[in-house]
Structure 1
């Protein structure tokens, strides 16, 4: 069975700090997995980026170092200590080096991680950031793997073929993969259940086994308990919604129940926690934030100030949207806790638009939960299509995706049908096809703030048009296919590399030099 994207693993989340989900969150996750595979107290780490990859120019400024250091040091992303990982590494006597080199890889966001432990343990891992905080470990010590942090996995290294012995003690609900290379073997158990301590001790005691590592899942939703929902394609989703008379929010909740194996109440509680964190980041931003290494000062408070002095429209929902977007983006740039939604670069759109509409109509928490599930389902289909990597597709998969998600969520708030919500998502994404990613000074602040604001207002207008009866013309699945096709024609310089667009204007170059000199 093909593993479906999870709304919590792949769309609304991760809960994180830092400027970029691709850089900061994905590297944190890769580091957190790598340290478990090492299974030794870390003394030294070497992180390499390929000279032809997308991260060569910006891995420091977009938070890759911050995320990787935090993951290797096993510091939770919500922990305030994430703001001083370099200091903590020094206190522990851990050396973490970063280097540009050359190594075989298949993704623009590839990294090679080599770890050394206090007891002599060593491991080399090839990993890739897939966008929106999603990641994949692709090789461990030269053996091919496909790890995304959503299973319990037990690694067993041996210089002998002990396949029969390992298979004979295979636990229930567990699969076994066997990798061989030059007379060396790597056996991996994979399960949605944790492995019994007695089993691990038994395997570790086998004379043929050189090393064992018990790797626990780090994603919110564990894989392996999935069942197929009653719809697969967007076309079948529309048909099912008509026959069942369910809203897109109800269908999104149903989808995640099938994906996760969790109960409806458990999933509602999870989404409520996410919503509270998002609205909390708005409150943090509005209270005022600061950070030395950022471009923009606090500006979110200026909307209310201008409104009070009657310089702008009074009591406008647009004012609320702009204020909310700015607040979330300011919290992000100050390294406060935010929710990538679906990415950190586009984290302002969904939360800002949804809160503004919810406040305007007096929505309950239950209303919000269902609207977020509507948004999440559109995001899940986006994840099945182009995904959320700006290094592959530009900002059309960040602010474009978030606009489509927010539009669907707003339709759910309005009481619209699932078909209308999908139509709104289609219109909103259509309006942002071809959007480039060209962050100024490699900080994910500008033009990201404006793009998030445009995406949020676009979401509101698209939802309004859809519920009023405007035609979206192009089905959502065909819009997503177009995103992929257009990205193939976009030059790499405008795909989050800092090598094109606004990023190479004289003003942007001067800003970057000023920030770098201040470090």
Structure 2
């Protein structure tokens, strides 16, 4: 089935709370799917992280516990109850524990969930967070699968081979996979439509079936209704856009139409909602946010104050960019609703830059939508390449990717061509290749705030150069290949582990110690 990334599933999104999309959003999604695989209500959950994985040092501080708890308790990510998951678990009598262990896995961000229901049913799920909230469930009860939350999945456990029986009762548009194990067979039905009761009733009538689970998708765009795109490579995309007289934003919207099977009107409405959430997070940040477990106070209001006092440049768009980035990042750190764009760690760049420029050029909502589709298309090609996992590639795939996305969006506001948009993205990403990921005290606040701000200003300058006719020299696809190649030479300690870079300076270690003492004191009250 379709392997192309979706702009909504894999790039501009998810809508979430918490410090990290890799940790918080992906763990919520994995847990939300896994809890649907047990018969009855959740009673016990044991979550394991590999001792050699990237999350062993920071899974609690970067929001994995927050996301996992919320998903297991089936709390919507936008619900304020996400801030109180430990209390809710206690009230419901649900025991959730975390441990460091050793288990077979293939990704630095792997997690193993063992869930037990009140009726004694259990399931073991192995999953990996792929960056930006994307994930993959890789094993269910030891059976190798590949589930990414973008289909309706019907799981059937059987004591024997019942494939012929299942093929007779499934419809033609439903895919069926069989995974054999030593003790049983696992059958996976996959569909872009919900499964009806007639099918599930017929399955349960098969004698060998001893368990069935209907797992609903957690992604905003359901796959399976795609059409073949009229372009594939970035070079063919530029040729297609030139031949059809289309901007990069128009091509991005067309891409998602082909990818999702949804109409232009529906997709524009979806992007409008995303933009409103992003701009709402700016408003929320500027109005003031508070949260105990963070290292930076509100600072977004300081820019306007300094400008009013004549201490900085007057009326500069750079001032607005800095203000907007800080506001989004403060909303994120206070566990308010944000959009990972393309990740939570880099959520400030695109929204801040596009809001500042759109205000400057007095853009309409339709103009904003097309700018976001231009940004999203660059992100889709980034997702096809290195992806957005800082644990694999460092911050060059977070703030670096967001800089390229924002640059393309700004070119769209300036009325540039698709070639200019991709050229601007190339220049912006070139400027951030090799960027390390070293959050201080394991909080995704600093130096993340500065990196997001630099990325946003980089986006504006790159878009300005592209529109002015500056040469980007290296095509975007070769830049993305370079990102992946450079990451292979970067030491693991500077890839979001808290074990390198600024995170191990004396000042950072002292700050982390202070935060841990405060948290211990609060816990013991």
Question: Do Structure 1 and Structure 2 share a fold, with TM-score over 0.5?
Answer: yes
1:124 counterpart SS class: strand
CA contact under 8 A between 1:192 and 1:222: conserved in structure 2? yes
- Deviation for aligned residue 1:201: 2.3
CA contact under 8 A between 2:2 and 2:223: conserved in structure 1? no
User: 1:390-445, CA deviations, whole angstroms, 9 ceiling, x for partnerless residues?
Assistant: 00000000000000000000000000000000000000000000000000000000
Counterparts of 1:423-434 in structure 2, within 5 Å, are 423-434=423-434
User: 1:101-131, CA deviations, whole angstroms, 9 ceiling, x for partnerless residues?
Assistant: 0000000000000000011110000000000
Structure 1 CA distance, aligned partners of 2:490 and 2:336? 33
- 1:251 aligned residue: 251
Give TM-score scaled by structure 1 length.
Answer: 0.99
Of stretches 291-300 and 238-247 in structure 1, the one that deviates more from structure 2 is 238-247
Structure 1 CA distance, aligned partners of 2:166 and 2:297? 58
- 1:209 aligned residue: 209
- 2:47 aligned residue: 47
CA contact under 8 A between 1:395 and 1:436: conserved in structure 2? yes
Structure 2 CA distance, aligned partners of 1:150 and 1:286? 35
The alignment of Structure 1 onto Structure 2 pairs a total of residues equal to: 519
CA contact under 8 A between 1:3 and 1:223: conserved in structure 2? no
2:463 counterpart SS class: helix
- 2:403 aligned residue: 403
Counterparts of 1:327-406 in structure 2, within 5 Å, are 327-406=327-406
- Deviation for aligned residue 1:167: 1.1
- 2:296 aligned residue: 296
- 2:324 aligned residue: 324
Structure 2 CA distance, aligned partners of 1:6 and 1:275? 17
For the pair 1:224 / 2:216, whether they are aligned, the reply is no
Aligned structure 1 segments of 4 or more residues deviating by more than 4 angstroms: none
1:366 counterpart SS class: helix
- 2:416 aligned residue: 416
- Deviation for aligned residue 1:182: 1.2
2:120 counterpart SS class: coil
Structure 2 CA distance, aligned partners of 1:73 and 1:163? 34
Counterparts of 1:11-410 in structure 2, within 5 Å, are 11-410=11-410
1:432 counterpart SS class: coil
CA contact under 8 A between 1:342 and 1:398: conserved in structure 2? yes
Q: Which runs of 5+ in 2 are unaligned?
A: 520-525
Structure 1 CA distance, aligned partners of 2:345 and 2:331? 12
- Deviation for aligned residue 1:162: 1.1
User: 1:44-77, CA deviations, whole angstroms, 9 ceiling, x for partnerless residues?
Assistant: 0000000000000000000000000000000000
Structure 2 CA distance, aligned partners of 1:61 and 1:183? 39
Structure 1 CA distance, aligned partners of 2:206 and 2:462? 62
User: 1:153-197, CA deviations, whole angstroms, 9 ceiling, x for partnerless residues?
Assistant: 111101111111111101231011011111411011111011001
1:156 counterpart SS class: strand
CA contact under 8 A between 1:173 and 1:193: conserved in structure 2? no
- Deviation for aligned residue 1:38: 1.6
Q: Which runs of 5+ in 1 are unaligned?
A: none
2:394 counterpart SS class: helix
User: 1:1-20, CA deviations, whole angstroms, 9 ceiling, x for partnerless residues?
Assistant: 54200000000000000000
- Deviation for aligned residue 1:222: 0.3
2:226 counterpart SS class: coil
Structure 1 CA distance, aligned partners of 2:142 and 2:171? 26
For the pair 1:463 / 2:450, whether they are aligned, the reply is no
Structure 2 CA distance, aligned partners of 1:501 and 1:63? 21
- Deviation for aligned residue 1:252: 0.1
Structure 1 CA distance, aligned partners of 2:248 and 2:468? 17
CA contact under 8 A between 2:170 and 2:199: conserved in structure 1? no
Structure 2 CA distance, aligned partners of 1:373 and 1:168? 42
- Deviation for aligned residue 1:199: 1.6
Structure 1 CA distance, aligned partners of 2:91 and 2:171? 41
For the pair 1:498 / 2:498, whether they are aligned, the reply is yes
Structure 2 CA distance, aligned partners of 1:136 and 1:289? 33
Structure 2 CA distance, aligned partners of 1:297 and 1:250? 40
- 2:522 aligned residue: none
Structure 2 CA distance, aligned partners of 1:39 and 1:134? 26
CA contact under 8 A between 2:399 and 2:451: conserved in structure 1? yes
Structure 2 CA distance, aligned partners of 1:476 and 1:246? 19
Structure 2 CA distance, aligned partners of 1:128 and 1:417? 38
1:113 counterpart SS class: strand
